[in-house]
Chain A
Amino acid sequence: MNQHIASLVNDLLIKGQFAVLLYFLGVNGWYLILLVSSLLELRRHMLLIADESRHLLLSSTLSPTISILAPAYNEEATIEVSLRALLALHYPSLEVIVISDGSKDKTVQVLIEKFDLVPVKTIYERKIETKPVRTLYRSSTYPGLVVVDKENGGKADALNVGLSFARGELVCAMDADTLIEQDGLQRMVRPFLYATDVVATGGTIRVVNGSQVKHGRVEKTAVPTNLLAGVQVVEYLRAFLFGRLGWNRLGGNIIISGAFGLFQREAVLNAGGYLHDTVGEDMELVVRLKRLSYEKGGPGKIAFVPDPVAWTEVPESRRVLGRQRDRWHRGLADVLWRHRRMLLNPRYGATGLVVYPYYAFVELLAPVVEAVGLLGLVFGLVFGVVDWTFAGLFYLTAYGLGTALTAFTLILEDLSFHRYNSFRDRALLFWWALLENMGYRQLTVWWRLRGLWKFIRGRKDWGVMERKGFQAVPTAVKSPGAAA
């Protein structure tokens, strides 16, 4: 009897391991398709923008007004520099709305002093229910600057208030610590000018850790030497350059980074704005916009711009990174659950039949499958059910192919924007790409599983994010040209 059970377990373990192998083969195969798709998309994009005179075409009076919504909570130390960088963005018709979400420090006072703010009244339509607004300010020196001081209600609430006050046809939602490239808005607005069915655009977000920042601008790009930050550089490149770009051709995106995205204001207002009771409010909004476009008509295309348009600081501590990834995965699970009606539903076209299933079966369930595979492998090796040859095969299929694909992503970056030029940066990038699968990825599996577990238990807290702050440029920095 015992022997029978043992043989059954063995059989199950072996079959399970082969199933996991097949899953990874399928996932990596799909990644390969995404890589090819993004290569084609990138080639087309680079040909379109080569020698383009953006200043002529996009500094036109016909360009849509953009309202930047910048929620801020206790940002007294950084708000001045961040805001000055936003006000200096190159875009012809720009409005910047800072929403102080019940800051307990001197954020509002700093703004009043540094930007000559005066309290004003304005007429606005309150289409979305939000926490009360205390005071509205306008700057007497910067005509495009509006500051809203409101009671604390969270990021989604702050963005909803911003939406009500915004005058632009397009709104740009961003995190307070995102650094936008000076011509980032010009690049991001392009899809709206080129097609009428675009409801939102996202751009490539790069990791700022290790780079030098001056006056809210990235002065010199460099790959960080810190392991966690370095691996995330590679991870971000892969996620944006072949993950999201590839989807442009294969059914469209359903993710726009909360750090920086551009939306049609009217469409967002009609959809009811950002949801409060989710930790994935940015993804939720995009999926809702997409879903509504199928259900009610109207624009629904989510375009992705491969240009590096913004920079963000990534966590360098395991604890903070773990909290972030846990939250991201909870957000993903929550969004997919809320919109589960779309899964494999032909009514939602390619989104329902291709994109949604990918996010459900690959992005959401991958940590579960990976954990099962890894645990099964360890058990199998311990009890002699699987041999080392199989373990090698498992590693090569699950991780080796992924590393090769990541290496090709580095080539994509190099062929297009090549922001990491020095030999040191190249070597570091490649090194981080190799190391990613040796411990880091397994850690993310654990964090994501934790996120799933918390989702099942109904946890919706954000956790505390700690930031190190940008590395300032020394006063006498040589430009790359000057060094030669």
Chain B
Amino acid sequence: MVNEHLLDVIMLIEVGLLALAVGLFFLHGLWLHFTARRVKRLSKAGHEALARLVNRGHVSLEDVEALKAMPPDIQTITFLEVSRSVSGAGKERLSFVAQQAGVVDRARLLCHHKWWTRRLRGARILSRLGVPDPLVQTLLADPHPAVRAQAAEWAAAQPSVEVISSMLELLADPATQARFAVQNALLRMGNVIAEPLAAFLETHSGRSAEAGLRVAESVAVPGFLGSALRHSRADEPGVREAAAKLLGGIAGAEAGARLMEMLGDSESNVRAAAASALGRMRYWQAGSLLAEGLRDQRWRVRREAGLALRGLGAAGTLFLRRALKGDDRFAADMAEQVLELPEAAAG
């Protein structure tokens, strides 16, 4: 019925495949075991030398020689492991010794590699060691988003004017991964970004402006007011929403007046953001408009308006009580829910 020879061939192939699989499986296990032992054995002296460097602030010539004598792969592993638990002056010393030991030079070479995976590795090593190498800054323009994202992570610890302006240009990066990393890095830089970011917001619009406004919200200095007001009239709802949130952070009469106008925006997300911002500012002048917001068609706007009114204190509570007795059952329902909230939820 079936050629026996065919059966033998198939069986042979399958047995061969199984033998190959089991061989690879166990050999890889052995390799993992011996690699772990080798790393542990060879990195021990390096770990001790680096611990002395970090804890005591000095490293002897012998230590540097010992570090240099380590195999390159072990050297890199050791430096990266130690870098996880040090910061500040300790990290600077670590970075200095990494340069002496050749780790940095090898990472720099990787940054030039034609494969993105190697460039990523190079950028990761330099980031983790906190090496202020301008080469990493050039990787902000790398064709691969993972490399750009890594370069952005490095940049968070190097807040120079050039770095910040390169980073701001990446706020409109087409890759979400890189965009997220850039926004995150800018946030980590803190107040130093305020001035260049304000200038950036003056000249940019669309997606990059939206990302910039979201970063600006965390700093929210008055210098952003002009840009926030301008962007609050943008065509894109996402930009207007981000501008509303920023205006809420900046606060003041001008911001409050514009936010009151935004309560009439055609997009519900913008109206909700404006109501929330007014509540955050405790802008009592917006009381009657927020009470109108309780009648909004969208639940989210009604909720934000209700919470904002509660945030206004006695005046807001009065509006809520009025809504409770009003003819709009949606407004009354929301007012009732807000008034029943415990004190802790008021803010």
Chain A contact residues, CB within 8 Å of chain B: 14, 47-48, 50-53, 56-57, 60-62, 120-123, 125, 193-196, 386-387, 389-390, 392-393, 396-397, 400-401, 403-404, 407-408, 410-411, 414-415, 418, 421, 423, 426, 430
22 contacts between A and B (CB under 8 A): A47-B120, A50-B121, A50-B124, A51-B124, A60-B187, A61-B218, A120-B342, A122-B341, A122-B345, A123-B306, A123-B341, A193-B177, A387-B1, A389-B4, A392-B7, A401-B14, A403-B18, A407-B17, A407-B25, A418-B32, A421-B29, A430-B22
CA distance A415 to B127 in the complex (A): 26
CA distance A400 to B28 in the complex (A): 23
Which chain B residue shows the least CB distance to A425? B29
| Residues in A neighbouring B6, C-beta threshold 8 A | 393
Looking at A123, A393, A423, the one whose CB has the most chain B CB atoms below 10 A away is A123
Interface of chain B residues 123 through 175 with chain A (CB within 8 A): 124-125, 127-128, 146, 149, 153, 156, 175
The answer to whether A396 touches B28, judged by C-beta atoms less than 8 angstroms apart, is: no
The answer to whether A396 touches B11, judged by C-beta atoms less than 8 angstroms apart, is: yes
Task: Choose from B14, B24, B120 the contact partner of A411 (Cβ within 8 Å).
Answer: B24
| Residues in B neighbouring A393, C-beta threshold 8 A | 2, 6-7, 10
Task: Choose from B28, B156, B180, B340 the contact partner of A62 (Cβ within 8 Å).
Answer: B180
Q: How far is the CB of A387 from chain B (nearest CB, A)?
A: 5
The answer to whether A57 touches B184, judged by C-beta atoms less than 8 angstroms apart, is: yes
| Residues in B neighbouring A123, C-beta threshold 8 A | 303, 306-307, 334, 337-338, 341
Which chain A residue shows the least CB distance to B157? A56
The answer to whether A404 touches B29, judged by C-beta atoms less than 8 angstroms apart, is: no
Task: Choose from B14, B121, B303, B307 the contact partner of A396 (Cβ within 8 Å).
Answer: B14
| Residues in B neighbouring A61, C-beta threshold 8 A | 187, 218
| Residues in B neighbouring A386, C-beta threshold 8 A | 1
* In the assembled complex, B288 has its CB within 8 A of some CB on chain A: no
Which chain A residue shows the least CB distance to B186? A62
The answer to whether A423 touches B29, judged by C-beta atoms less than 8 angstroms apart, is: yes
Task: Choose from B18, B33, B121, B307 the contact partner of A51 (Cβ within 8 Å).
Answer: B121
Answer whether A407 and B22 are a contact pair too, CB < 8 Å, given A51-B80, A60-B184, A122-B345: yes
The answer to whether A426 touches B29, judged by C-beta atoms less than 8 angstroms apart, is: yes
The answer to whether A193 touches B176, judged by C-beta atoms less than 8 angstroms apart, is: yes
Q: How far is the CB of B187 from chain A (nearest CB, A)?
A: 6
Q: How far is the CB of A403 from chain B (nearest CB, A)?
A: 7
| Residues in A neighbouring B199, C-beta threshold 8 A | none
| Residues in A neighbouring B201, C-beta threshold 8 A | none
Interface of chain B residues 182 through 212 with chain A (CB within 8 A): 183-184, 187-188
* In the assembled complex, B299 has its CB within 8 A of some CB on chain A: yes
Which 5 pairs show the lowest CB-CB distances between chains A and B? A407-B21, A404-B17, A194-B177, A60-B184, A400-B14
CA distance A266 to B283 in the complex (A): 30
* In the assembled complex, B100 has its CB within 8 A of some CB on chain A: no
The answer to whether A404 touches B18, judged by C-beta atoms less than 8 angstroms apart, is: yes
Task: Choose from B7, B117, B337, B341 the contact partner of A47 (Cβ within 8 Å).
Answer: B117
| Residues in A neighbouring B18, C-beta threshold 8 A | 403-404, 407
* In the assembled complex, B181 has its CB within 8 A of some CB on chain A: yes
Interface of chain B residues 15 through 36 with chain A (CB within 8 A): 17-18, 21-22, 24-26, 28-29, 32-33
The answer to whether B10 touches A51, judged by C-beta atoms less than 8 angstroms apart, is: no
The answer to whether B153 touches A56, judged by C-beta atoms less than 8 angstroms apart, is: yes
CA distance A387 to B25 in the complex (A): 36
| Residues in A neighbouring B33, C-beta threshold 8 A | 421
| Residues in B neighbouring A120, C-beta threshold 8 A | 342, 345
Q: How many A-B residue pairs have CB under 8 A?
A: 124
Which chain A residue shows the least CB distance to B145? A194
CA distance A62 to B211 in the complex (A): 11
Chain B contact residues, CB within 8 Å of chain A: 1-2, 4, 6-7, 10-11, 14, 17-18, 21-22, 24-26, 28-29, 32-33, 80, 117, 120-121, 124-125, 127-128, 146, 149, 153, 156, 175-177, 180-181, 183-184, 187-188, 214, 218, 299-300, 303, 306-307, 334, 337-338, 340-342, 345
The answer to whether B341 touches A389, judged by C-beta atoms less than 8 angstroms apart, is: no
CA distance A195 to B178 in the complex (A): 10
| Residues in A neighbouring B29, C-beta threshold 8 A | 414, 418, 421, 423, 426
Which chain B residue shows the least CB distance to A386? B1
Which chain A residue shows the least CB distance to B180? A193
Answer whether A404 and B22 are a contact pair too, CB < 8 Å, given A50-B121, A390-B2, A414-B28: no
Q: How far is the CB of A280 from chain B (nearest CB, A)?
A: 31
| 14 further contact pairs, Cβ within 8 A, besides A195-B176, A414-B25 | A51-B125, A53-B124, A57-B153, A60-B188, A122-B345, A194-B176, A194-B180, A397-B10, A403-B18, A404-B21, A407-B21, A408-B17, A408-B21, A421-B33
The answer to whether B28 touches A415, judged by C-beta atoms less than 8 angstroms apart, is: yes
Answer whether A121 and B32 are a contact pair too, CB < 8 Å, given A393-B6, A408-B21: no
CA distance A401 to B334 in the complex (A): 63
The answer to whether A121 touches B1, judged by C-beta atoms less than 8 angstroms apart, is: no
Q: How far is the CB of B98 from chain A (nearest CB, A)?
A: 14
Looking at A62, A122, A125, A392, the one whose CB has the most chain B CB atoms below 10 A away is A62
CA distance A396 to B18 in the complex (A): 12
| Residues in B neighbouring A414, C-beta threshold 8 A | 25, 28-29, 32
CA distance A50 to B76 in the complex (A): 13
Q: How far is the CB of B73 from chain A (nearest CB, A)?
A: 13
CA distance A392 to B330 in the complex (A): 73
Answer whether A53 and B120 are a contact pair too, CB < 8 Å, given A194-B176, A410-B21: no
CA distance A53 to B130 in the complex (A): 13
CA distance A411 to B29 in the complex (A): 10
CA distance A483 to B39 in the complex (A): 17
Task: Choose from B1, B14, B188 the contact partner of A389 (Cβ within 8 Å).
Answer: B1
The answer to whether A52 touches B117, judged by C-beta atoms less than 8 angstroms apart, is: no
| Residues in A neighbouring B184, C-beta threshold 8 A | 56-57, 60, 62
Q: How far is the CB of A165 from chain B (nearest CB, A)?
A: 13
| Residues in A neighbouring B156, C-beta threshold 8 A | 56
| Residues in B neighbouring A403, C-beta threshold 8 A | 14, 18
CA distance A53 to B18 in the complex (A): 38
| Residues in B neighbouring A430, C-beta threshold 8 A | 22, 25
| Residues in A neighbouring B338, C-beta threshold 8 A | 123
| Residues in A neighbouring B121, C-beta threshold 8 A | 50-51
Which chain B residue shows the least CB distance to A14? B1
Q: How far is the CB of B75 from chain A (nearest CB, A)?
A: 14
